[in-house]
Structure 1
Amino acid sequence: MNPRRVHDLMRRYFPKIDGAEHEWVVVVDEAGLRREVLEALLGKIVPAEELIVEVHRKIGGMVPRAAAIAMVAKHVGRGDIRIADRKFTGFLVVLRSGVATGWTEINADAEIDYQDETISH
């Protein structure tokens, strides 16, 4: 899945976030990404093995969980990173400031055709 497709999907199906309504967790410290904290949050909120990740409109893809965590580690601080499952029912945001939050919701509008989509590694 190319970054343009990811950006389009995120614009259509990723909900707007009101920061005051969520509990935030510090996932980046002076040593970098706290992988275990991010992995735990992802496991709780977005347990799928294939994740859609968008750093910004030119960097994104549908990748396996390990690649998603590596992508966050590489690009943290460069933008607000959004992560969702293929059905857009689990959502996670890592802000450039190094905090993250996640939530789930039913997204009945997300009738997405993935027939021609492949996972990029």
Structure 2
Amino acid sequence: MTPREIHSLMRRLCPFGVSKADGYRHLVRNDALDRDLVDSLLSDYIATDGVFVYANAKKSSYVPKAAAFQLIQEHRNGDDRMAVQVVASDFSARVAIHPIGVGVGEHKILRRQ
């Protein structure tokens, strides 16, 4: 899937920011983003094996959940001042990791049809 296709999906299915209702978690230890803390946050919200890692229209990928941390690191180390979103492949949940080293997640409430 191309970054443009991922961007279109994100705009259509995730038009708003992540709710802060569950509260932020600190993800930094020893002045660096901690893999264990990030993996714990992702595991608490995202049950799928594949995830979309989305920083912006040009920096987005579909990867296995285990590879998400590396992409989050790359996007955080760039000039981006926006949160990196990690979204379950079925769009049932998402996590936002902000440049200051905090993250928050939410489960999407699916409507019955």
> Does TM, scored on the shorter chain, surpass 0.5?
yes
Equivalent positions of 1:63-102 (< 5 A) are 63-76=63-76, 78=80, 79-102=82-105
Helix, strand or coil: the match of 2:55?
strand
Q: Give the TM-score of the pair, scaled to structure 2.
A: 0.83
Unaligned regions of 5+ residues in structure 1, if any? 110-121
Equivalent positions of 1:4-19 (< 5 A) are 4-17=4-17
**Residue aligning to 2:50:** 50
Cα RMSD after superposing both structures = 2.1
Q: Give the TM-score of the pair, scaled to structure 1.
A: 0.78
After superposition, the C-alpha distances for 1:62-112 in whole angstroms (9 at most, x for unaligned) are: 101122111001212523111111211111001122211001023459xxx
Helix, strand or coil: the match of 2:44?
helix
Unaligned regions of 5+ residues in structure 2, if any? none
**Residue aligning to 1:25:** 25
CA distance in 1, matches of 2:10, 2:18: 16
The answer as to whether partners of 1:26 and 1:98 remain within 8 angstroms in 2 is yes
**Residue aligning to 1:60:** 60
The answer as to whether partners of 1:76 and 1:98 remain within 8 angstroms in 2 is no
Read off the aligned partner of 1:37 and give its amino acid letter: L
CA distance in 2, matches of 1:108, 1:64: 27
